[in-house]
Amino acid sequence: MTTRLFVPRDAAARAVGADKVAAALATEARRRGLDLQIVRTGSRGLFWLEPMIEVETPAGRIAFGPVTPGDAAGLLAGGLPIDPAHRLCLGRPEEIPFLARQTRITFARCGIVDPLSLADYRAHGGYRGLARALSLGPSATLDEVSRSGLRGRGGAGFPTGIKWKTVADTAADRKYIVCNADEGDSGAYADRMILEGDPFALIEGMTIAGFAVGATKGYVYIRSEYPDAVRTMNEALAIARAEGCLGADAAGSGIAFDIEVRVGAGAYVCGEETSLLESLEGKRGQVRAKPPLPAHKGLFGLPTVINNLLSLATVPAILADGAARYAALGTGRSRGTMPIQLAGNVRRGGLFEAAFGLTLGEIVDDIGGGTASGRPVRAVQVGGPLGAYFPRALFDTPFDYEAFAALDGLIGHGGVVVFDDSVDMALQARFALEFCAIESCGKCTPCRIGSIRGTETMDKIIAGERVEANLALITDLCQTLKFGSLCALGGFTPYPVMSAIRHFPEDFTRPRLSAAAD
């Protein structure tokens, strides 16, 4: 009997040798005459254990990791299934505490299914959501999305249902569904994992959106830094088209819907929705003033739903299992689950999907296990390069939109980057300003010029030059940036800068070696 062995094809797993592991296992199986079929899946998101492989047994899957190509011979020495007494055995993956503690809704299938098998997708609950939406009709589908409490997972947290309803209520010959997969935040990789590990969930989510608002065309805007994701998504779209899930009668819905991938070109600001729309239109990725809202005048001036990938990929599960079930999770106005991405200097880096409300301390210390370096955690940046740095003193902050906003921070796209006590927060504040200068689209003067002057001023502070006066200047500049910028790039760059100054003042006044200012 053929035994199936699952090896991730996720880019992060490939980055640490998953392809070589798969090849070594295949070679070894051939050498031993074993009847082994290697299935490439997405990643479960336990990256400190990658490459993590899973073997099918009568009692379910058993995981092993982290596996190196050199382990192949030992793993297959006792034939198939692999001996659970092997030193790399992790037991049943669902029972690994990091996974056992999660509530996986958006990521229910990721790491389990073959991302390019529609049969696998359907066998694991795929297209149940669209079927229910079709039975409900467009208007009740909109209500269901509203009732779920789903808010924009890109970070802005705008209620998805309201956005959809606005587009549905706007009359036009043509409407669009745009998926924002321009995941540029450092520390964030959830979009990438879905694109590479469960692309049909996004296709189904966009199809439901199209059905609900009356749109016939979807675009997925993926950043060029994600070549694997672009490849997998394009393959998935070709399969979906060939199998009738997209096209004139998309998945038997009676409506036409098709999706196209567009690849970004290295501009961080294109993750901002209006800038992304400009880029899709073939222009410079410069931010548009709002109003008009994209829901009224979006892509090519037509009504457009533009949602983060995670929002769209969560919709099928919401429809399949009902809004009430999703809304029952979470805290306050943050309903449902958030895929938190632990990154940087963390012992157990990976994707942790959980209901809103965990404290930052639970996320970093309990789930993440502290730093990878073994040194104390000093600062945590939440929500990407525009997110605030949090000190240990704020580790009781619950992970939800409002609690982070109240502390002049943001949860953003859910990336959590951990730093140990070797971090120099003045350099991190400088980087935030420098990054803003590199990525500014140039539309707003405070962002275009202020970021450069801010970087120079921070250099003076780091060099010990008129520190107090220059810090006052930075504070003033941050006010101007916050209130004088159209989008989050200029508007939120003050978060990392000011949080570093506020919570780690000692790093801005201490004399340092001139080399550190480099």
Partner 1 sequence: MPISAAWDESEATTIIGRHERREGALLPILHDLQAAFGCVPPAAVRLVADALNLSRAEVHGVVTFYHDFREQPAGRHVLKLCRAEACQSMGGEPLARQALDRLGLEWGGTTPDGRLTIEAVYCLGLCACAPSALLDGEPIGRLTPKALDEIAAGAGQ
Q: What is the 3-state secondary structure (H, E, C) of 446-468?
A: HHHCHHHHHHHHHHHHHCCCCHH
Rule CB under 8 A: say whether 68 interacts with partner 1.
no
**Sheet strands (E) in 240-350:** 258-263, 304-308, 330-331, 334-335, 337-344
In Å, the largest CA–CA distance within the chain is: 75
Q: Give the residue with the Cβ less far from partner 1, 176 or 326.
A: 176
Task: Please tell me whether residue 52 binds partner 1 under the rule CB under 8 A.
Answer: no
Binding string, residues 16-45; x marks residues near partner 1 by CB under 8 A: x-----------------------------
Does 11 interact with partner 1 (rule: CB under 8 A)? yes
Q: Are strands 377-382 and 415-420 parallel, antiparallel or unpaired?
A: antiparallel
Task: Please tell me whether residue 210 binds partner 1 under the rule CB under 8 A.
Answer: no
- Separation of alpha carbons 32 and 77, rounded Å: 9
| 490 near partner 1 (CB under 8 A) | no
User: 229 near 222, Cβ under 8 Å?
Assistant: yes
User: Footprint of partner 1 on residues 284-313 (CB under 8 A)?
Assistant: 284-286, 300
- Phi (first) and psi of residue 195, to 5 degrees: -60, -40
Exactly one of 419, 492, 495, 508 binds partner 1 (CB under 8 A); that residue is 419
Assess 400 for contact with partner 1 (CB under 8 A). no
Place of tokens 């632990």: 342
Query: Any idea which residue has 């199986």 for tokens?
Result: 29
Q: Interacting stretch for partner 1, rule CB under 8 A, among 92-100, 153-161, 224-232, 318-326?
A: 224-232
Closest distance to partner 1 from the beta carbon of 299 (Å) = 8
182 belongs to the binding site for partner 1 (CB under 8 A):
no
**What residue has token string 């400009």?**
278
Q: Candidates 259, 346, 394, 425: give the one binding partner 1 (CB under 8 A).
A: 346
- Give me the count of residues in the chain: 518
For the bound state, the minimum distance from the C-beta of residue 408 to partner 1, rounded and expressed in Å, comes to 18
Question: With respect to partner 1, which residue has the nearer C-beta, 506 or 518?
Answer: 518
CB of residue 67 to partner 1, shortest distance in Å: 14
Identity of the residue, 323 or 418, whose beta carbon is nearer to partner 1 in the bound complex: 418
The residue to which tokens 């990789």 are assigned: 189
Contact between 144 and partner 1 by CB under 8 A: the answer reads: no
Whether the CA torsion 396, 401, 406, 408 is positive or negative: it is positive
341 belongs to the binding site for partner 1 (CB under 8 A): yes
- Determine, following the binding rule CB under 8 A, whether residue 507 of this chain makes contact with partner 1: no
Q: Residue 22 or 251: which CB sits closer to partner 1?
A: 22
Q: Which member of 67, 168, 250, 267 binds partner 1 (CB under 8 A)?
A: 267
- Of 206-214, 404-412, 431-439, 445-453, which segment contacts partner 1 by CB under 8 A? 431-439
**Best CA proximity match to 344, nearest among 391, 308, 379:** 379
Cα(512)–Cα(500) distance, rounded to whole angstroms? 17
Where does this chain touch partner 1 (CB under 8 A) — which range of 82-90, 147-155, 339-347, 478-486?
A: 339-347
Tell me the DSSP string of 483-499.
Answer: HH-SSHHHHHTHHHHHH
> Does residue 14 touch partner 1 according to CB under 8 A?
yes
Residue 454 binding partner 1, by CB under 8 A: no
Q: Which stretch binds partner 1 (CB under 8 A): 125-133, 287-295, 433-441, 447-455?
A: 433-441
| Nearest CA among 359, 367, 418 for reference residue 394 | 359
Quick one: angle between helices 199-213 and 309-321, nearest 10? 80
Q: Residues 227, 244, 252, 505: which binds partner 1 (CB under 8 A)?
A: 227
349: contact with partner 1 by CB under 8 A: yes
Residue 209: which of 222, 199, 219 has the closest Cα?
A: 219
For 406, counting Cβ atoms within 10 Å of its Cβ (0-12 exposed, 13-18 middle, 19+ buried), the class is exposed
For partner 1, which stretch binds (CB under 8 A), given 147-155, 165-173, 261-269, 451-459? Answer: 261-269
Among positions 129, 187, 336, 412, the unique one binding partner 1 when judged by CB under 8 A: 187
**Adjacent-strand bridge partners of 151:** 159
Applying CB under 8 A, does 350 fall inside the site for partner 1? yes
What is the residue-wise DSSP string for 130-149?
A: HHHHHHH-HHHHHHHHHHHT
Residue choice 164, 435, 492, 495 for contact with partner 1 (CB under 8 A) = 435
| Number of Cα atoms under 13 Å in the Cβ half of residue 63 | 20
CA distances 78 to 66, 203, 471, Å, are 19, 41, 65
Q: How far is the CB of 260 from partner 1 (least distance, A)?
A: 8
Choice between 205 and 414, CB closer to partner 1? 414
**Rounded-to-integer distance, Cα 285 and Cα 305, Å:** 18
The answer to whether residues 195 and 9 touch, using CB atoms and an 8 Å cutoff, is no
**Min CB(34)–partner 1 separation in Å:** 29
Binding footprint of partner 1 on the chain (CB under 8 A): 11-12, 14-16, 47-48, 50, 183-189, 191-192, 224-229, 262-268, 279-286, 300, 341-346, 349-350, 372, 381, 385, 415, 417-420, 423, 428, 431, 435, 438-439, 441
